[in-house]
Amino acid sequence: MNVLIVHAHPEPQSFNTALQSTAVAELTRLGHTVQVSDLYAMRFNPVASAADFGERANPDYCVYALEQRHGVAQGTLAQDIQDELAKLLWCDLLILNFPLFWYSTPAILKGWIDRVLVSGTVYGGKRFYNLGGLKGKRALLSLTLGGQEAMFGPQGIHGPLEDLLKHLLQGTLAYTGMSVLPPFVGWHVPYLSDAARQDILAAWRTRLQSLDAQTPLVFPELSPDAL
Amino acid sequence: MNVLIVHAHPEPQSFNTALQSTAVAELTRLGHTVQVSDLYAMRFNPVASAADFGERANPDYCVYALEQRHGVAQGTLAQDIQDELAKLLWCDLLILNFPLFWYSTPAILKGWIDRVLVSGTVYGGKRFYNLGGLKGKRALLSLTLGGQEAMFGPQGIHGPLEDLLKHLLQGTLAYTGMSVLPPFVGWHVPYLSDAARQDILAAWRTRLQSLDAQTPLVFPELSPDAL
The answer to whether residue A71 sits within a structural domain is: no
Residues of A in contact with B165 (CB under 8 A): 167
Q: What is the CATH number of the domain that holds B177?
A: 3.40.50.360
The answer to whether residue B197 sits within a structural domain is: yes
Cross-chain CB nearest to A46 (options B46, B99, B104): B46
Global pTM?
Answer: 0.98
Contact B49 A10 (CB under 8 A): yes
Residues of B in contact with A163 (CB under 8 A): 163, 166
Smallest Cα distance from B60 to chain A, Å: 9
State how many domains chain B has: 1
The answer to whether residue A64 sits within a structural domain is: no
Please report the DSSP string for A110-123 in residue order.
HHHHHHHS-BTTTB
Smallest Cα distance from B209 to chain A, Å: 30
CB–CB of A188/A100 below 8 Å? Answer: no
Helix orientation angle between B79-90 and B107-116, rounded to the nearest 10 degrees: 80
Residues of A in contact with B40 (CB under 8 A): 47, 49
The answer to whether residue B70 sits within a structural domain is: no
User: In a mutagenesis test of the B interface, which of A47, A165, A170 is the best target, namely the one with the most B β-carbons within 10 Å?
Assistant: A47
Residues of B in contact with A129 (CB under 8 A): 157
CB–CB of A8/A107 below 8 Å? Answer: no
Contact B157 A129 (CB under 8 A): yes
The answer to whether residue B135 sits within a structural domain is: yes
CB–CB of B148/B188 below 8 Å? Answer: yes
Q: What is the mean pLDDT of chain A?
A: 96
The answer to whether residue B16 sits within a structural domain is: yes
Helix orientation angle between A194-209 and A15-29, rounded to the nearest 10 degrees: 40
The answer to whether residue B219 sits within a structural domain is: no
Taking only the tens of pLDDT, chain B with its 227 residues reads 999 999 999 999 999 999 999 999 999 999 999 999 999 999 999 999 999 999 999 999 999 999 999 999 999 999 999 999 999 999 999 999 999 999 999 999 999 999 999 999 999 988 999 999 999 999 999 999 999 999 998 789 999 999 999 999 999 999 999 999 999 999 999 999 999 999 999 999 999 999 999 999 999 999 877 65
User: In a mutagenesis test of the B interface, which of A15, A53, A108 is the best target, namely the one with the most B β-carbons within 10 Å?
Assistant: A108
* Structural domain containing residue B143: 2-50+79-213
A193 burial (CB, 10 Å; 0-12 / 13-18 / 19+) is exposed
A79-109 tens-digit pLDDT: 999 999 999 999 999 999 999 999 999 999 9
Cross-chain CB nearest to A114 (options B64, B101, B190): B101
Q: What is the CA radius of gyration of chain B?
A: 18
